[in-house]
Structure 1
Amino acid sequence: PLDYEDAEQRDGFRLRIRVSDGLHDTTSNVVVQLIDENDHAPDIAGPSEVQIPEDAERGTIVARFTVTDRDAGDHARCFLPGTCEW
């Protein structure tokens, strides 16, 4: 199967095409390149639970996470759902 993440396929496929009308023929070189799809879920690494002191000041860093995505380009988005009342 075609897969952009496969290093052997990423640079595309070089083909030599020959056509003929029975009397004349010609050839042409063609490069077929794959376009990456957003077909992989992002991976996230970090703590699954964090404890925050009740007197922590606003702006205190409470955890760090690393997010990676095997797809080419900028597909991953990070957000914190919900609202904080503090």
Structure 2
Amino acid sequence: MKRYVALVVFVVLLAAGCGKFEVYERNLHYMKGQTYQDEKALVAEQMNRAQANLAKAEASGDPERIKEAREVLKDATAKSRAVEAEERRRARTW
């Protein structure tokens, strides 16, 4: 019975938007000026590295290496989307 309750709680939290990078997205709102620009450049570099690593992993043909590279790319993509959303938010004028 406890397993089912834990599973239900997990599904509810997942549906509510408790993602892996929720805190990261919130922290982007508070970054100012050069700190935000540095973070944006870092995320772009991470994305490039993750794409290159995935290409190398796929060329090697090792399924475990491919799986790991895809997970890293998935995380980098999530961070990149968070930065893009913050860019759109900052570009709005009221």
- Fold in common (TM above 0.5): no
Higher relative contact order (CA closer than 8 Å, sequence separation 6+): 2
Higher Rg of the two aligned structures:
1
Question: What TM-score, normalized to structure 1?
Answer: 0.24
Question: What TM-score, normalized to structure 2?
Answer: 0.22
